[in-house]
Amino acid sequence: MSDLFSLRGQVALITGGSSGIGRATARAMGEAGASVVVSSENEAACRDTARELQDQGIQALAVPCDVRDRGGLAMLVAGTVRHFGGLDAVVHAAGVAPHFGPMAEATEDEWRLTMGVNLEAAWHLCTLARGHLFVRGGGSVTFISSIAGVRGNRSLGVYGVSKAGLTQLARNLAVEWGPHNIRVNSVSPGLIRTAFARDMLSQPDVMERRLALTPLRRVGEAHEVAGVAVMLASPAGAFITGQNLVVDGGTTVSDGTP
């Protein structure tokens, strides 16, 4: 069973890897045996995360990058391959939600930022990584999506559209790249205890209503999403591609009855 979920010998690249779900994923993949590259636009946080992993005995490298910069993404992928000799797993966990409210009230800048980080960067990153995964005989790509992309939302519509696109990107690439043994999936978390969700978590009335509609009656933890990402990159996930795995404590299957 240990081999079933092992990432020994793999090189994993995680965007958004210095905080929240991305950071938890970098740690979980490292603990499963992978060498990990931690990337985000926050240079100090990247280096702190990599140092923390190194202190745990994990081979880790910090490569700061703004994922909206295609040149920066190219350097990120090239730097990963140069340092560790290859690339086996990509996790795009970078994400933003600059607009909260009706979609019609979003500015052009908010729309472009959301699509640029959440969706376009994933496409560019995959395009850059594909050849390196092919050389290794295959590999895995995992997008951290959201349940906002699988149902309507009054306040996170722009974000939800970007995440729905991300999940569809996973399906399309799974079909295109499957013959080369490259698997592509998305993971859609519900409410997870991270800084990203801090505003919601700090509102007792909102949380009471939300948890009443979640069968498990609790908030998820970042490591619970990270574990799914590890599974998808491991032999345990070797026959899974083009799927969207929902990790939400049952929120999206609830009938709305507390």
Under DSSP, the state recorded for 148 is G
Report d(CA 248, CA 258) in Å as an integer. Answer: 16
> What's the confidence (pLDDT) of residue 123?
98
The answer, yes or no, to whether residue 196 has pLDDT greater than 90, is no
Q: Which listed residue (84, 159, 177, 196) is catalytic? A: 159
Instruction: Find the helix or strand (DSSP H, E) in which 180 lies.
Output: none
> What's the confidence (pLDDT) of residue 47?
97
The answer, yes or no, to whether residue 258 has pLDDT greater than 80, is no
Model confidence over 35-56: pLDDT tens digits? 999 999 999 999 999 999 999 9
Of 231, 246, 241, 249, residue with least CA distance to 25: 231
The answer to whether residue 159 is catalytic is yes
> What's the confidence (pLDDT) of residue 26?
98
**Across 54-81, average pLDDT:** 97
Using pLDDT thresholds of 50, 70 and 90, give the confidence band for residue 1: low
The answer, yes or no, to whether residue 107 has pLDDT greater than 90, is yes
> What's the confidence (pLDDT) of residue 97?
95
The answer, yes or no, to whether residue 151 has pLDDT greater than 70, is yes
Look at residue 126 and give its three-state secondary structure: helix
The answer, yes or no, to whether residue 236 has pLDDT greater than 90, is yes
Using pLDDT thresholds of 50, 70 and 90, give the confidence band for residue 77: very high
Report d(CA 147, CA 153) in Å as an integer. Answer: 10
Residues 197 and 154 sit within 8 Å (Cβ to Cβ): no
Using pLDDT thresholds of 50, 70 and 90, give the confidence band for residue 70: very high
Which residues, other chains included, contact 220 with Cβ-Cβ below 8 Å and sequence gap of 6+? 189, 190, 191, 192, 193, 247, 248, 249
The answer, yes or no, to whether residue 235 has pLDDT greater than 70, is yes
Residues 163 and 188 sit within 8 Å (Cβ to Cβ): yes
Model confidence over 7-35: pLDDT tens digits? 999 999 999 999 999 999 999 999 999 99
